[in-house]
Amino acid sequence: MTTHSLSIRDLHASIGDKPILKGLSLEIPKGQVHAIMGKNGAGKSTLAKIMAGHPDYTVTSGDVLLDGQSILGLEPDVRARLGLFLAFQYPMEIPGVTIANFIRAALQARLPEGEELEATDYYAKLYAKMDALSVPRNFTSRSVNEGFSGGEKKRCEILQMAMLEPSYAVLDETDSGLDIDALKIVSAGVNALRGPNIGMLVITHYQRLLDYIVPDKVHVMSEGRIILSGDKDLALKLEAEGYDWVEKEHGAKATERALAV
């Protein structure tokens, strides 16, 4: 098995006493885009937060490996510096901190102690990425996400991803709250970052996003585990026929498999 992957292995996690993930396994090779679909409450966003290291959740068993290295037990910032990126469903507002300073601090954090980020190069790169994502340049002096529309927040997430160049990115409901024009811009931004040096996990409730970000694989999540995997056509089938059939047919099997382990 290749070590160039984001690998989730039989992951069990809970919030307080409540189990949320119940044996979830997934392998995203570098260079591929995988999608996770599922109903609200399936645990999709929880999976994203657990991978990023959110302190509210406890991993009870299983593992998450980044290019073969376990990241469980590492602080969120350490995971990020190892190359994991999470595009938030609800990006936080940080009053008084400009986007330019925020991204700069994130890049600075990746440099060895005592090394300073070169300002001219930084701004040149930032402006180029902003232009590509149709983010107005005056956004650099605006506070992170403060007063942004839904579309602006999501574009800003993708801008951060473009600047930080992660090896694996988890995009949590990046399509939520976007109109079709914003969706096209954001998708084009994501597609521009696709390539052999990044693996992506796109979490979405709707098939619509996958018309624009065409995945290599689609996984269906239900009650804290993956119950079915397939190619991009699976998304179309889910769109046409809903989630009930798949949960009925495959949910029970997944439970059996889980109990048999």
Partner 1 sequence: MTLSATSEIRVRELPAQGITVLPLDSLDESHSSPWPEWFRHDQQKAWDLYESLPMPKRNDEPWRFANLKALDLSEFQPAKPVEDKAVLIARSSGLADLAAKLVFANDALIHREVAGLPAGVLLLPLEQAATEHEELFRKHFMSTEVRLGSKKFAALHRARLRSGAFVHVPKGVVIERPIEIWHWVEGENATILPHTLIVLGEGASATVIDRFVSSRDERSLALAVNDLTLGQGALLSYIGVQEWSDKATAFHLNTTEVERDAISTALQMNFGGSYIRGESDSHLLGEGSRSVMLSINPASGSREIDQRTFQDHFSPRATSDLLYHNALADSSKTIFAGLIKVEEAAHETDAYQKVRNLMLSDEAEANSMPGLEILADNVRCTHGATSGELNEDELFYMMARGIAPKQAAQLIVRGFFGTVLERLDNDFLKERLGEILDRKLNLTV
Q: Are 191 and 213 within 8 A, CB to CB?
A: yes
Tell me the window of 96-104, 181-189, 220-228, 234-242 that interacts with partner 1 (CB under 8 A).
Answer: 96-104
Q: Are 208 and 196 within 8 A, CB to CB?
A: no
The only residue of 160, 174, 204, 222 in contact with partner 1, by rule CB under 8 A? 160
Using the rule CB under 8 A, is 80 a contact of partner 1? yes
Using the rule CB under 8 A, is 143 a contact of partner 1? yes
Query: What's the CA gap between 252 and 192, in Å, rounded?
Result: 39
Using the rule CB under 8 A, is 104 a contact of partner 1? yes
Query: What's the CA gap between 16 and 57, in Å, rounded?
Result: 7
The only residue of 106, 132, 188, 258 in contact with partner 1, by rule CB under 8 A? 106
Q: Based on CB atoms, which residue is closest to partner 1, 25 or 98?
A: 98
- Min. distance of Cβ 105 from partner 1 in angstroms? 5
What residues have CB less than 8 Å from 260, skipping those under 6 apart? Answer: none
Q: Are 69 and 78 within 8 A, CB to CB?
A: no
Tell me the window of 20-28, 87-95, 226-234, 239-247 that interacts with partner 1 (CB under 8 A).
Answer: 87-95
Using the rule CB under 8 A, is 55 a contact of partner 1? yes
Using the rule CB under 8 A, is 95 a contact of partner 1? yes
Q: Are 48 and 203 within 8 A, CB to CB?
A: yes
Using the rule CB under 8 A, is 77 a contact of partner 1? yes
- Min. distance of Cβ 103 from partner 1 in angstroms? 8
Query: What's the CA gap between 38 and 234, in Å, rounded?
Result: 12
Q: Are 93 and 58 within 8 A, CB to CB?
A: no
Return left, alpha or beta for 86; rule: phi > 0 is left, psi -120 to 50 is alpha, else beta: beta
One-letter identity of residue 162 = A
- Min. distance of Cβ 120 from partner 1 in angstroms? 15
Using the rule CB under 8 A, is 109 a contact of partner 1? yes
Tell me which residues touch partner 1 (CB under 8 A): 52-55, 75-77, 79-81, 85-86, 88, 91-98, 101-106, 108-110, 116, 143, 160, 164
